[in-house]
Chain A
Amino acid sequence: AQTVTQSQPEMSVQEAETVTLSCTYDTSENNYYLFWYKQPPSRQMILVIRQEAYKQQNATENRFSVNFQKAAKSFSLKISDSQLGDTAMYFCAFLDSGNTPLVFGKGTRLSVIA
C-alpha cells in the first residue's frame, strides 16, 4: 500500500520569504500523480499544484512550485513571496493510475507571520 509522509507538523515563515514543505512517499508503481492541497481555517480543501510522475519537468503555479525527485520518492512544495493568505494546513497526496483513492499525508500547518 502507498504511504505519504510529511515530516514537518508545523512551520512558520515571515511574510515575503520563501518556505519549503517536505513530502516523501512510498510506492512500487511507476505511473502515478502527486498533489499538494491547502486547507485554510475555512476548511475548504483547495488544490495547489499537481504533478504527473511521467513528467520530468517540475510543476509550477505562480508562487508555488515543486521539486519532484522520482528516484528519491520526494515531492516538496516551495512557496515564494509568502503571503498572509498562505496560512493553512498543507496536505501532500498520492494517486496511482489504478482504481484507488487519494492517499494523504498527515499535513503541515504553515503560519505566515507579518
Chain B
Amino acid sequence: EAGVTQSPTHLIKTRGQQATLRCSPISGHTSVYWYQQALGLGLQFLLWYDEGEERNRGNFPPRFSGRQFPNYSSELNVNALELEDSALYLCASSWGVLAGDPDTQYFGPGTRLTVL
C-alpha cells in the first residue's frame, strides 16, 4: 500500500513569490494535515482538512492557505513568501472524523522550501 506522497521534494523561491505544495494521502484516508518544521521551532500545526473542508487552523497568517480536492489530495499555498517561511513542510493523513475517534497520523517525506 502506498504511503503519503508529497511533491515537490525541494522548492526554491524568492521573497514575495508564491509556493504551492502538494500532498496525496494514503488510500482511504480522508483527513490531511499540514505541519511546518522550521529550524529551532519544532513541528507546528498549520492546517487540517477533512472531507473537503478546513477543520482547524494553526496560528499562521492568512497568506498560508490550502484546499482539499474531491480525491482527498491537498494543496498548501504560501503567498508573499518571506525568508522565515524556509522550512520542511510535512503532510500527514489519517482516517477522518466520520471514523469516530481520531486516529494515527502517517506522514509523507516532506517538501523542503527555501526562500531566498
Say which one of A20-28, A62-70, A71-79, A96-104 lies at the interface with B: A96-104
Which residues of A pack against B, CB within 8 Å?
33, 35, 37, 42-47, 50, 91, 95-97, 99-107
B42 contacts A107, CB within 8 Å? yes
Alpha-carbon distance between A103 and B44 when the two chains are bound, in angstroms:
8
Residue interface mask B7-31, A partner, CB < 8 A = 1:
0000000000000000000000000
Q: Provided the pairs A95-B102, A99-B55 are in contact, do residues A43 and B45 lie with their beta carbons within 8 angstroms?
A: no
Which residues of B pack against A, CB within 8 Å?
33, 35, 42-43, 45, 48, 55-56, 58, 88, 90, 92, 97, 101-102, 104-110, 112
Chain A positions within 8 Å of B33 at CB level? 101-102
Query: Can you pick out 30 interface pairs between chain A and chain B where the beta carbons lie within 8 Å of each other?
Result: A33-B102, A33-B104, A35-B104, A43-B109, A43-B110, A44-B107, A44-B109, A44-B110, A45-B90, A45-B92, A45-B107, A45-B110, A46-B107, A47-B106, A95-B105, A96-B102, A97-B101, A99-B48, A99-B55, A99-B97, A99-B102, A101-B33, A101-B35, A101-B48, A101-B58, A102-B43, A102-B105, A104-B43, A105-B42, A107-B42
